[in-house]
Every structure is written in structure tokens, then in C-alpha cells.
């Protein structure tokens, strides 16, 4: 069973959800970039893909995972598990695929990470289908232009939204007075990207060109600023640090912090050895992880084609341009 909802009723629907859930939605405040944040009833932004994905609510840039307190003759360790019930509204298809990638890693592959899985299992995802391509997106090349496993999908349709029910949780949300049952079939959304990535044998071809000169050429203008990894909805590299609580001699905390493969210090190991000294090696790692290594290990691409890394790069480095150049060279051999 599917539904429709009037566009003018969407803010009312979100306000209704706020009585039971923390609602996370795309918002744009004055002079700020559109991003996912706690929805307070103002600034709803549904015109285009946000600059930042909702990843920070599942993998925060800095998260406390436990506290440690020394007591007389003993100690206490307290895990900091976030079980807040949230509804994410307006999640674009590429970002639903990004969540699927994070699920693969932090629930299925590494063994269940309870800090991530608690957030994920307490979240309901309402996707918003794109009708037009964003400027730097290449989601059709990556097969991510249609939402992956949300609870509801909203399709813009004139003065209203067609609402496709995917899960029982989604159906429960749609069973209120803001929605009307419809017998119409779900709309089809066909997107044409301005950017196209040749994915034919992509992972194998990129790896076979490990010493290609393109890595050095592109890295000559790379700043190692890590903008690409910071804005990426699937980058998950992290480090941990232990800190004493200020003013306490008995209590400390462990935090997990997002890190970046584009920073030299990230590859420093015991003995002060840096195993990716050059920018070329770090840029190559970023591209190969996104388009080769991850697929080989997990059967899916780590890149979801959102194009945020291209948009964020201050020197216009594009992993699509790099990959297509190598693809062209391999085809000519």
C-alpha cells in the first residue's frame, strides 16, 4: 500500500514526528551550507543534495565510546551507547547506499560495533528520490540512483509527494491523517548525470596501473587537506585517544575520532615509520579504496557517486577523471 502527502503538509508531518523522535533533516540556515541537522521546525531544504551527508549522526567526527573510573580497590568501565530514536527525512539515494556500506562494515563484516549499530537500529530512514542530477554526481555509473533499503521513499509529484512504503516501520509512520492511500504505481525516476565513469573492469584496471604516472601528476597539486575524505559519506578511517577528564585524577575517557588516509600522520607506525610518505601514494590509496579494493573484498563499491569529493576539492582533483584516464590507457593497450 502506498500513499500521497501534500507538500504543504510535510513540515506538519515532521513536527508530528518530533513528539516521539529526534528528527534529522536537510536544513539551511542563513548563509550556511545545507546539511543534515536536528530539525526544529525551520530551514527545511529539499531543493538539492546537501553538502554534507547524514553520516555524522552514525559515525560522529568525535565520539566518546566509554569512560573509565578508578575506585578504591576496583574500577568501573561505562560504555557510551547512543540509543536515541531518530527519523531521518530527505535522505538522498546515494546516502542510503552509503549507509548500506557502513552497515556492511560496522554490523556485518567486522562484527557488530554496538556504538554504530545502536544508532542505526534506532533510526528510521525516509528517502527523497532525486529527479535531477547534481552538478558533480555520477550515481548512475555507480548504480546508486535509486534508494537502497529505506523505510519510506518520497517522490516529488507536482503539488504533492508520492510515498512508497518499503518496511513495516515506514507503513506505521504513513498511517496518520497527513497521508492519503493511493492505488497509483510508484513513479520511475530516470536521472542523467553530467559526469560518467567507465566502470567496465574498473577495479582490476586501476590496480593493474598501480605505477601509472597519473598518480604522481595529479598529486603534484594535491594539498593533502583531506577535504575529500572529511566530506565523503563512506570514509570511515579512525583513530582513538584516551583523555583524562579535566580536574579529575581518577576518571578518563576513550574517544573515537574520524581520521584521513590523506594525512601523512595517519600512516605513521611504531618506530616513526611512515608507510605512505608521498602524496601520490595517499591519493592512489583513496581512489583505489573507493573503486577497487573494497569491491574486491565486499562485492560492492565504497564510492556511491555523490560527487561531494569532487565538489570539495580546492584544486579540482576528480577521482572520476583519474579513473577514466586510466581506463582509456588500458583500453589502448
Q: Share the mean pLDDT of the chain.
A: 94
Does 15 score more than 90 pLDDT?
yes
Write down the pLDDT at residue 278.
Answer: 95
Contacts of 82 (CB under 8 A, 6+ apart): 115, 118, 119, 122
Write down the pLDDT at residue 73.
Answer: 83
Contact 147, 199 (CB under 8 A): no
Q: For 52-61, 138-147, 263-272, 316-325, which range has the lowest pLDDT when averaged over its residues?
A: 263-272
Phi, psi at 285, each rounded to 5°: -60, -45
Write down the pLDDT at residue 72.
Answer: 83
pLDDT single digits (tens) 62-115: 999 999 988 888 888 999 999 999 999 999 999 999 999 999 999 999 889 999
Phi-psi region of 201 (alpha: psi -120 to 50; beta: other; left: phi over 0): left
pLDDT single digits (tens) 230-267: 999 999 999 999 988 877 788 899 999 999 999 999 99
CA distance 234 to 257: 15
Write down the pLDDT at residue 130.
Answer: 95
Instruction: Reduce the DSSP state of residue 3 to 3 states and report it.
Output: strand
Contact 85, 278 (CB under 8 A): no
Sign of the C-alpha dihedral computed for residues 132, 136, 139 and 140 taken in this order: positive
pLDDT single digits (tens) 31-45: 678 899 999 999 999
Write down the pLDDT at residue 301.
Answer: 94
CA distance 129 to 13: 18
Write down the pLDDT at residue 30.
Answer: 63
Q: What does the pLDDT average to over 302-309? A: 98
pLDDT single digits (tens) 155-191: 999 999 999 999 999 999 999 999 999 999 888 888 9
pLDDT single digits (tens) 207-232: 999 999 999 999 999 999 999 999 99
Could you give the percent of the chain with pLDDT greater than 90? 86
Instruction: Write the DSSP symbol of residue 77.
Output: E
Instruction: Reduce the DSSP state of residue 138 to 3 states and report it.
Output: coil
Contacts of 73 (CB under 8 A, 6+ apart): none
pLDDT single digits (tens) 131-152: 999 999 999 999 999 999 999 9
Amino acid at each position: 500500500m502506498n500513499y500521497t502527502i501534500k507538500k504543504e503538509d510535510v513540515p506538519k508531518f515532521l513536527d508530528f514526528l518530533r513528539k516521539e523522535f529526534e528528527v534529522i533533516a536537510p536544513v539551511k540556515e542563513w548563509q550556511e551550507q545545507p546539511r543534515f541537522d536536528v530539525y526544529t521546525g525551520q530551514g527545511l531544504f529539499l531543493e538539492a543534495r546537501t553538502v554534507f551527508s547524514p553520516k555524522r549522526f552514525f559515525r560522529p567526527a568525535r565520539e566518546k565510546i566509554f569512560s573509565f573510573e578508578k575506585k578504591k580497590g576496583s574500577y568501573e568501565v561505562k560504555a557510551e551507547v547512543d540509543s536515541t530514536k531518530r527519523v531521518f527525512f530527505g535522505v538522498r539515494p546515494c546516502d542510503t547506499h552509503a549507509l548500506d556500506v557502513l552497515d556492511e562494515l560496522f554490523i556485518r563484516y567486522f562484527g557488530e560495533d554496538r556504538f554504530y549499530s545502536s544508532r542505526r537500529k534506532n533510526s528510521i530512514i525516509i528517502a527523497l528520490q532525486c529527479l535531477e542530477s547534481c552538478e558533480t554526481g555520477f550515481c548512475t555509473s555507480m548504480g546508486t540512483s535509486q534508494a537502497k533499503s529505506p523505510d519510506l521513499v518520497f517522490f516529488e509529484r507536482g503539488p504533492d509527494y508520492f510515498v512508497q512504503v518499503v518496511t513495516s516501520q515506514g507503513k506505521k509512520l504513513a498511517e496518520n491523517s497527513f497521508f492519503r492511500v493511493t492505488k497509483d504505481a510508484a513513479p520511475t525516476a530516470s536521472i542523467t548525470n553530467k559526469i560518467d565513469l567507465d566502470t567496465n573492469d574498473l577495479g582490476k584496471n586501476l590496480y593493474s596501473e598501480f605505477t601509472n604516472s597519473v598518480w604522481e601528476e595529479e598529486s603534484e597539486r594535491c594539498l593533502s587537506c583531506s577535504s575529500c575524505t572529511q566530506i565523503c559519506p563512506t570514509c570511515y578511517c579512525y583513530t582513538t585517544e584516551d583523555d583524562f577528564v579535566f580536574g579529575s585524577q581518577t576518571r578518563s575517557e576513550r574517544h573515537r575520532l574520524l581520521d584521513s588516509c590523506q594525512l601523512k600522520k595517519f600512516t605513521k607506525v611504531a618506530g616513526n615509520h611512515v608507510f605512505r610518505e608521498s602524496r601520490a601514494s595517499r591519493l592512489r590509496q583513496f581512489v583505489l579504496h573507493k573503486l577497487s579494493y573494497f569491491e574486491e573484498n565486499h562485492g560492492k563499491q565504497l564510492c556511491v557517486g555523490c560527487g561531494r569529493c569532487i565538489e570539495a576539492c580546492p584544486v579540482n582533483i576528480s577521482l572520476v577523471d583519474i579513473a577514466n584516464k586510466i581506463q582509456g590507457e588500458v583500453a589502448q593497450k
